[in-house]
Amino acid sequence: MTAGVDQYEIELTLRLDPEAASRLARRDSLPELRAGRMRRRRLVSTYFDTPDGLLRTSRIALRIRQDGKRFVQTVKTAAADTGPAIRRGEWECGVSEPVPDLRSLGDERELRHVFGDAGLAAALQPVYTTDFTRTTIPLRVGDSRLDLAIDVGEIRVGEATEPVCEAEIELRRGAVADVYAVAQALRREVAVRLEPLSKSERAYFLTLQGGVRPLRAKRPRMERDVSLGDAFLAIARSCLIQLRANAAAVERGDDPEGMHQLRVALRRLRSAFSAFGAAMPGPARRRFAASLKRLARTTDAARELDVFLAEILVAVRKAVGRDSGLAAVEAAAREARARAWARVRAALAGDLFVATVLDLEAWLEGGGWRLAAGDTYAHPAEDYARRVLKRLHRKLARAGERLAELSEPELHDVRLRAKKLRYAGEFFRDLFAAKAAKRYLAALADVQDHLGALNDSVTVRALLQRLGRRRLADAAGFERGAAVILGWSGARVSAELDRLPETWRAFLDCRAFWK
């Protein structure tokens, strides 16, 4: 794949600490990759938007950068939902003064929905600036040419500032895989972290001061004749974009939805490897699945406490009224939540997260997936989807036999199988009749909801036991509150289990939409 000149950029951004940035900027760093003289210059950029943030909500950045005596206007769009996470639209041209010139954009299809507004130019105003020193090092990997840009400076929004210290690896021409080859070379030299947010997105974070918005899953739309390989690639790409965005939401915010969507992204990725497992070699599938599982486990406690505080406790208070014991439980849970979120943030800053995302993106974008799939890459996804969905449905139906007699662990297994089937169904639903898929998946979701109540009860019991083992300021109050919660939870589970057989029969009566 070759990087375009003026339509898009392929660029991977890694966060550095100042010592790492200084080390990389030395003349003796990365000697085996260098392909030219290092350049250093100061870049000051002004970003523009409308008072109501039209460009921000459209995921577009418009800037004018002063580079010496030159002014360069650049428009960038966010990564496409089913494209590589490191590819963004880019349109760049020189301008005579530091004022936006929308005429230079011509009639670009990707920008027409925003810049087609005749009154937009008059509404644009400066909203923030970036000011940093860039050290650019030309690199060569095989036949590919890349630039390593080390930026050190700051983002300014009014009186608020945020430091910039990062490395950008931009592909000038050649293979996308070589971007990741450079990233791995950097990881061998210095500690790096993923930077999922562009400078403009970080500036908007300062402007809004409300945290980074969580990103919900976006199901990639597929044509009926899509190949097996392209279907997996689209699904995995959408999961990675969701994963990157919600890693930023967790790092920079406190919204439980960010943690939830981070887990959804990990679960979708794991489900994709499971659903497409028969089409890929075992070693690759097991390697990525194991790393994703380890990452997901770091989020378990944080998500459990989020659900407990935002849903379980709220429902208990609504049912039983105010109780001083519940306040003691809440205080203990909030302390535990703060610790659990700190552990997740540490994991996102750690090597496991960086290595997993970079390795997986390199495998997908560098052709590793295509090579691994071999001839099956071009096979019709529809035929494969039928076999997968039939197998998962059969396993779920078998696990749910004698549903009323199943133990808690057995019902938990039914729930996990239902979840796996639902993810696979969502992945493949565009390949089959829309109405039948919608009915089937809705019935399956109802089964999951009822089984989820049982899972919540098991989780709450274990959670309260863990909280109770810590030294608490109000131990007696905690015990009283825990008893109230367990009583409410037991009654809720009993009601859900009473409704489960009817919901299960309704699901089994649904026609399999892939037939």
**Contact assessment for residue 223 and residue 234, using Cβ atoms and an 8 Å cutoff:** no
- What's the mean pLDDT when you consider all of the chain? 92
Q: State pLDDT tens for residues 14-69.
A: 999 999 999 999 988 899 999 999 999 999 999 999 999 999 989 899 999 998 88
Q: What is the dihedral of CA 266, 272, 273, 279, to 10 degrees?
A: -170
Cα→Cα distances 453→166, 411, 457, 500, Å: 44, 11, 6, 10
DSSP code for 36: S
Cα→Cα distances 430→188, 275, 433, 436, Å: 43, 16, 7, 11
Q: State pLDDT tens for residues 238-296.
A: 999 999 999 999 999 999 999 999 999 999 999 999 999 888 888 888 999 999 999 99
What's the average model confidence in pLDDT over 481-503? 91
Cα→Cα distances 137→25, 103, 151, 164, 365, Å: 8, 33, 12, 18, 24
What's the average model confidence in pLDDT over 354-369? 93
Predicted pLDDT at 280: 86
Q: State pLDDT tens for residues 126-138.
A: 999 999 999 999 9
Predicted pLDDT at 2: 36
Q: State pLDDT tens for residues 380-424.
A: 999 999 999 999 999 999 999 988 888 888 999 999 999 999 999
DSSP code for 424: H
At 512, the pLDDT band (50, 70, 90 cuts) reads very high
Beta bridge partners of 161: 156
Q: How far apart are CA 410 and CA 392, in angstroms?
A: 17
Cα→Cα distances 479→177, 325, 473, Å: 56, 7, 12
Predicted pLDDT at 279: 87
Cα→Cα distances 189→19, 55, 142, 186, 208, Å: 12, 38, 20, 5, 36
Whether pLDDT at 514 is above 50: yes
At 209, the pLDDT band (50, 70, 90 cuts) reads low
**Contact assessment for residue 263 and residue 299, using Cβ atoms and an 8 Å cutoff:** yes
Q: 381-399 and 408-428 helices cross at what angle (nearest 10)?
A: 160
At 5, the pLDDT band (50, 70, 90 cuts) reads very low
Both tokens assigned to 344:
């997740």
| Complete domains list, the chain, with CATH | 8-209 (2.40.320.10), 241-509 (1.40.20.10)
Q: State pLDDT tens for residues 286-315.
A: 999 999 999 999 999 999 999 999 999 999
Predicted pLDDT at 463: 96
Q: How far apart are CA 473 and CA 324, in angstroms?
A: 13
E strand segments, 104-143:
125-141
User: What is the number of alpha carbons within 13 Å of residue 213 lying toward its C-beta?
Assistant: 9
- What is the number of residues in the chain? 515
* Alpha helical stretches, state H, 429-474: 434-468
Task: Find the helix or strand (DSSP H, E) in which 342 lies.
Answer: helix 324-348
C-alpha 498: how far from its chain's center?
Answer: 37
Collapsed DSSP state (helix, strand, coil) of residue 250: helix
DSSP code for 380: B
What's the average model confidence in pLDDT over 152-180? 95
User: What is the number of alpha carbons within 13 Å of residue 469 lying toward its C-beta?
Assistant: 5
Both tokens assigned to 97:
């003064």
Count of H-run helices and E-run strands, the chain: 18, 9
Q: The dihedral of CA 66, 69, 71, 76: what is its sign? A: negative
With a pLDDT cut of 70, the percent of the chain lying above it is 98
Nearest in space to 316 (alpha carbons), one of 464, 422, 430? 464
List phi, psi (to 5°) of 95. -130, 155
Q: State pLDDT tens for residues 420-454.
A: 999 999 999 999 999 999 999 999 999 999 898 88
